Structure 1
Amino acid sequence: MRILIVEDEKLLAQSLKTLLERKGFAVELAYDGATGAEHADTGIYDLLILDVMMPGLNGFELARHLRRRHSAVPILMLTARSDLSDRIEGLNAGADYYLTKPFEIGELLACVRALLRRQGGQVDQLRLGNTALDLDAATLCCGEKSLRLSAREFDVMRLLMQAGGGNIPKEVILTRVWGFDSGAGENSVEVYVGFLRKKLKSLGSDVNIAAVRRVGYHLEVAQG
């Protein structure tokens, strides 16, 4: 499960990241609302943890932005604003739960697990054309054929499938899959796209990874 924490208190954000990673979650951080929105718009996260008081785009605005885009990702608001009016605004903005600071670690973990349980079981595979990506087994399937993907192949394919045919810039794929500080170059994306193209072809898939110069990659279904 992948979690995005959008929190401008860097020490708290890092502490939450460490805590959740010890529990087996994959966690990424953003320190302001605009960057958080950019990350969340990729659609690759299973849960968002949002602070409310942030520079630029605050947590309420970010939640509203995502719900306007019909994102159903669970949102946990984590904030020092404890007034009833703030809770109501957060829930009306699209938050699924509103937890005030200071909080107990046990309560935070219980909220995270509850929201992920609610999310779990809704989607266990992504499908396009005659091809499916099994999210539990990390396999690419076409009819009776299937191939297991490496961790990075899976992350790239999941990103493309979740975009539903929309273009994803190469730098976004690089950041989302390899991370901000990995040192990997854009040629890494090209290499893994090549791996995936070969696997799609070997499965007899009608899905192709198309490249648009200076725009990015997207999936296309061959017309029969």
Structure 2
Amino acid sequence: MRLLFVEDSKRLQQTVGTALRRAGFAVDVTGNGQEGLWLAEANEYDVIVLDIMLPGLDGLGLLKQLRDQGRNTHVLLLTARDTVADRVRGLHAGADDYLVKPFALEELLARVQALCRRAYDSKQNKIIIGDMHIDTAARTVSRAGHVIMLQAREYALVEYLARRAGQVVSRTEIESHIYDGDTGLMSNVVDSAVCAVRRKLHVANPEPIIHTRRGQGYVMNPVSP
């Protein structure tokens, strides 16, 4: 899943950005509201984590412009203000959730994961595709009863394809959702990642679950097309 984190505190940029990446998210980070608006307009994010107090353009102004444009990306607002009036203003501006500073990283991650589930119309932490089970809270994958050890980026690939099971997903879509803007991508990075995941899934069950549609992309389906 790909996130945008708009926060002017360098310390939080480093701490939260690192925690989100370790959890398997692709993260773009900026400390300026105007740049945050430009990134949000230029990319498709699953969730935006947005501070209210920002230079250039404040968080509520950024959020209002996104909603006025008809963009429905889920937004988690961060603020140091803990009054009912402030929370109501944020929610009325179009925020989906609200977190007061200081916060625990575990709670931030849980709220981001919840918004990601909402982005794909899911209320559950479990995704089942054939004999493959994905726990999106624990970020684990098992197949045929065997736990599959995946690196963070490999897990992100599996979850993204699983959330779009039965749909053909292009290489460009995969790149934009599981790699952030700071990642220098080789031309075959997606194909290499898919091959690595296939090898690991094959150990538990040799029946393919990720299928290639030549010239189009990949589709996750327990039944061969």
* TM-score (norm: length of structure 2): 0.62
SS of equivalent residue, structure 2 residue 209: strand
Give the equivalent residue in structure 1 for 2:61.
53
Task: Tell me whether 1:163 sits opposite 2:164 in the alignment.
Answer: yes
Given residue 20 of structure 1, which amino acid in structure 2 is its aligned partner?
A: V
Given residue 109 of structure 1, which amino acid in structure 2 is its aligned partner?
A: P
Distance across 2 between alignment mates of 1:53 and 1:214: 41
- Pair 1:89–1:62, CA change in 2 (3 A): farther
Task: Tell me whether 1:108 sits opposite 2:101 in the alignment.
Answer: yes
SS of equivalent residue, structure 2 residue 148: strand
Deviation at 1:222, TM superposition (A): 0.7
Distance across 1 between alignment mates of 2:200 and 2:210: 11
Distance across 2 between alignment mates of 1:13 and 1:94: 21
Residue deviations 1:182-211 (CA, integer Å, cap 9, x gap): 222231110111122233333227662233
- Pair 1:65–1:177, CA change in 2 (3 A): closer
Task: Tell me whether 1:36 sits opposite 2:36 in the alignment.
Answer: no
SS of equivalent residue, structure 1 residue 149: coil
Distance across 1 between alignment mates of 2:164 and 2:9: 27
Deviation at 1:62, TM superposition (A): 7.3
Deviation at 1:145, TM superposition (A): 1.9
- Pair 1:109–1:211, CA change in 2 (3 A): farther
Given residue 25 of structure 1, which amino acid in structure 2 is its aligned partner?
A: L
- Pair 1:172–1:194, CA change in 2 (3 A): same
Distance across 2 between alignment mates of 1:137 and 1:48: 21
- Pair 1:162–1:36, CA change in 2 (3 A): farther
Give the equivalent residue in structure 1 for 2:20.
25
Residue deviations 1:94-128 (CA, integer Å, cap 9, x gap): 5322x7xxxxxxx4232875554567797544322
Deviation at 1:77, TM superposition (A): 5.9
Deviation at 1:65, TM superposition (A): 1.6
Q: How many residues align?
A: 198
Higher relative contact order (CA 8 A, sep 6+): 2
Given residue 39 of structure 1, which amino acid in structure 2 is its aligned partner?
A: E
* TM-score (norm: length of structure 1): 0.63
| Runs of 4+ in structure 1 over 6 Å off | 119-122
Query: What residue ranges of structure 2 are gaps of 5+ in the alignment?
Result: 22-26, 52-58, 115-122
SS of equivalent residue, structure 1 residue 193: helix
